[in-house]
Amino acid sequence: MYQWLHQLLSLFNETAPVTEKMLQDGFQPGYTPEEVDPRVASYEQIFMGGKVVMGISQDSRDVSALLPPFAYQGWIPSCTQHMWRGLVHALNMPEGRRALISRIHGFIASGGSLRGNSLQAGGNLGRKQGFVFEVDSPYPDLNKLEYDDWPLIVKQVNDVSPEAIERGEVNKISNFSFIDPNNLEAMKVELDAGRPVGAAGQVFGNWYHAEKGFEPYEGAPWHAFVIAKLFANGTKLIFDSLTQTNLSYSGFHLLPADYPVPYIMSVRDLPDDWRAQQALQLETEFPNVYVRYGKPRASLQVEQAFAIYLRQLVEQEKDKGIRTLAGKYWVVLVNASFYGNYSWRVTANGRDYLSYGAHGSDLANALYHYRRHGVFPFDFNQPKS
């Protein structure tokens, strides 16, 4: 019934305590794909004038030495917080601090559950409050606690003292933004500056032998990790938390260039006016779209209702990797469809979809094409005739 369960179990040396009941309760290995959110900061629009540079001529810096010791997440779907542990540790290193942040407190305090968590949730907690130290909220002993003990684990996190939370303020992050997965130059800039990048993708069947290729399948679970180095050919050295628990494993392995990693996150300060900069960049790139192709504006209520429905269609797509991209160009997609005659749905079996492919909508084909090639297949500044 759960195809990926057997794939997940194969990643461990010992038997993982993942049961049919856990899966029926909504258990996930860790990462929950982001929602469509146009308010999220876009690295390209803020730092690169909207440009996406898909190739690099040299390898990036290897920041492996800045990352903490490998830590195994076990059955708790906390990969997002393990990712943040790696990023925060690296960001603290220039100040001489090697303190480890809690792998469980930040996960639960930011809304993590047995269904996993998103990258943004942890980032928002780190930006507003900081991350509690591991010594103040240690990871559960997985030899003693099992799935049915989850309420006890949550209670222990909720009982962390105000003093511990205050001590964690030193681990605040400045801010974060999402990098276009095609933008190898942006990833290299961050790594060369000593800032590893967070990432998330689907765990395909041979995740830990990825140099031999990958075999994507529907329903594959999502997982978060850290990118420690980017090679000129696009191969990524990643630092992970879900793998075989042998004593020699350090947490590092390679993902080939063609392994899809649709969510990439940078952690660095943003300009105070980044929202205005981002909006201006989009308006400059798509001037006709932003004036609705010269057409009179519909009522705000009708326009908002359409946007809500379109968002539902995007989030219903089987491929969750297009969500951040849709959020980045949300106003463009809404206006191009509502005012510019670009198709926004296909109907099959009584349901509406975007449905990429020969019979997909213009918007779906645009999103998937952009994700593969870094450009839209249409000139959205021109309405579709």
The predicted model gives 23-48 an average pLDDT of 78
Instruction: List Cβ neighbours of 353 (8 Å cut-off, separation of 6 or more).
Output: 313, 316, 317, 345, 346, 347, 361, 364
pLDDT at 286: 96
**Residue 223: other Cβ atoms inside 10 A:** 27
Polymer length of the chain: 385
> What pTM was computed for the model?
0.86
Q: How far apart are CA 117 and CA 131, in angstroms?
A: 16
pLDDT band at 128 (very low <50, low <70, confident <90, very high): very high
Q: Which of 204, 200, 195 is nearest to 228 (CA)?
A: 195
The predicted model gives 190-216 an average pLDDT of 71
Domain 3-267: top CATH class: alpha beta
Q: What residues does each domain of the chain span?
A: 3-267, 286-373
The predicted model gives 254-279 an average pLDDT of 91
pLDDT band at 259 (very low <50, low <70, confident <90, very high): confident
% of the chain exceeding 70 in pLDDT: 85
**Looking at the predicted structure, is the pLDDT value of residue 199 above 90?**
yes
Task: Provide the residue type at 372 as one letter.
Answer: R
Measured CA angle at 131 (ends 69, 98), to 5 deg:
35
What pLDDT, in 10s, does the model give residues 336-362? 999 999 998 888 777 787 887 777 899
